[in-house]
Amino acid sequence: MSKRFLLIGTGRMGMSHLRAARNLGLDLVGLCDLRPENLQKAAAEAWVGPSACFNSPEALFVSHPGVDLVLIATTADSHRALVELAAASGAKAILCEKPLATSVADCSAMIEACRKSGSLLAVNHQMRFMDQYALVRKELDSGRFGELGSMNVVAGCFGMAMNGSHYCEAFRWLTGSDIVSATAWFSPGTLANPRGPQFSDHAGEVRFESADGRRLMMSIGADQGHGMTVTYAAQWGHLFVDELEGTYWATARKPEHQTLPVTRYGMPWDRWETRFAQADNVGPTQAVISALLRGGGFPDGHAGRSAVAAMAAAARSVELGNRPVRLDELGAFEATRFPWA
């Protein structure tokens, strides 16, 4: 018997969720969206009738309790309420878009609601299933580069929460170590979001540090308008990744020189280049859903909360004059809600 799923939110990302779930052979039993035009378009693509369409999430869950999977592809301001409704309805698994919520406290409440109901909670931080990170991890795991020291992102103005949260999760997954502190400098003003005037984000620079001392640094200034590039600096080499072009090139000390001090930075090296397919939203989302339904290997509620806490610590750092802020010392700031989409 095919597993049954519900989809809430039928915009661009919602349609990616729909296609990913259908590719896995899952059975759509209910759609929900507040916009009739989106709902009608999604129903037509999914070949479902009016009885499967809802403009109220409460009515959706009353009609379909205990489903195998709930996909939540709405804006972040609605995530907590929808995850709590899904958990209360007895949903076995829930995949929520990122960022997981607009406050750290809301993330904690969502995790607790799923713990009480026994629902598995995943957040759609897809990086571990994308070539530009999986290939980097394979290179780092080979031992050729030694220990990763820092991950350095220089990119166009893509928003601290909108895309910066993805890099926080990628860094956590690559290092196996949680981010514990943030120091940030935001550009003046905020970034408007096409999803609505109520949403905004920040540009600027931020330095995150992990529990084992490794660094994630992002430069996404308001005066930067192109590209997504990442440099991984390790003990014996560098990986330079152009994520939009689908290319990375690597340089590493020749193996016979790896015992020499890091101050010998100009020792003979090897260089190679690799191309990878540009990622879409459907394939990686499909991989997250598949892992969630298997019950392991997916970005869970802790991963989603960690990314939100890192972003909150960055905002707090700016408020405190750009001093480092530890994620475990946010205190009452955990309840601060941000206007993220």
- Give the model confidence (pLDDT) of 259-282 as tens digits: 999 999 999 999 999 999 988 899
Do 340 and 223 belong to one domain?
yes
Rounded to an integer, the average pLDDT of 130-151 is 97
pLDDT confidence bin for 195, thresholds 50/70/90 = confident
Do 120 and 247 belong to one domain?
no
Q: Which of 96, 125, 154 is the last residue of a domain?
A: 125
Q: What is the pLDDT of residue 153?
A: 98
Name the residue range of residue 110's domain.
Answer: 4-125
Q: What is the pLDDT of residue 191?
A: 84
Measured CA to CA, the distance from residue 140 to residue 145 in angstroms comes to 6
Do 30 and 156 belong to one domain?
no
Measured CA to CA, the distance from residue 22 to residue 26 in angstroms comes to 5
- Tokens in use for 150? 């820092």
CATH code where residue 47 lies: 3.40.50.720
Q: C-alpha 93: how far from its chain's center?
A: 18
pLDDT confidence bin for 171, thresholds 50/70/90 = very high
Do 21 and 55 belong to one domain?
yes
Query: Whole-structure pTM over 0.75, yes or no?
Result: yes
Do 207 and 290 belong to one domain?
yes
H-helix or E-strand spanning residue 57 = helix 57-63
54, 87, 126, 211, 274 from 90: Cα distances, Å: 19, 5, 25, 36, 45
Do 144 and 106 belong to one domain?
no
Say yes or no to pLDDT of 294 above 80: yes
68, 86, 158, 184, 313 from 322: Cα distances, Å: 45, 39, 21, 6, 11
Do 105 and 162 belong to one domain?
no
Give the residue among 177, 185, 163, 270 at the shortest CA–CA distance from 215: 177
- Tokens in use for 136? 């980097």
Do 95 and 191 belong to one domain?
no
Rounded to an integer, the average pLDDT of 303-307 is 98
Say yes or no to pLDDT of 1 above 80: no
- Tokens in use for 330? 């946010």
Q: What count of other Cβ atoms lies within 10 Å of the Cβ of residue 285?
A: 25
What DSSP assignment string belongs to 158-194?
A: --IIIIIHHHHHHHHHHHT--EEEEEEEEPSS-EE-T
Whole-number mean pLDDT of the chain?
96
Do 157 and 228 belong to one domain?
yes
CB 72 within 8 A of CB 86: yes
Do 136 and 98 belong to one domain?
no
Q: Which of 125, 144, 159 is the last residue of a domain?
A: 125
Q: What is the pLDDT of residue 338?
A: 97
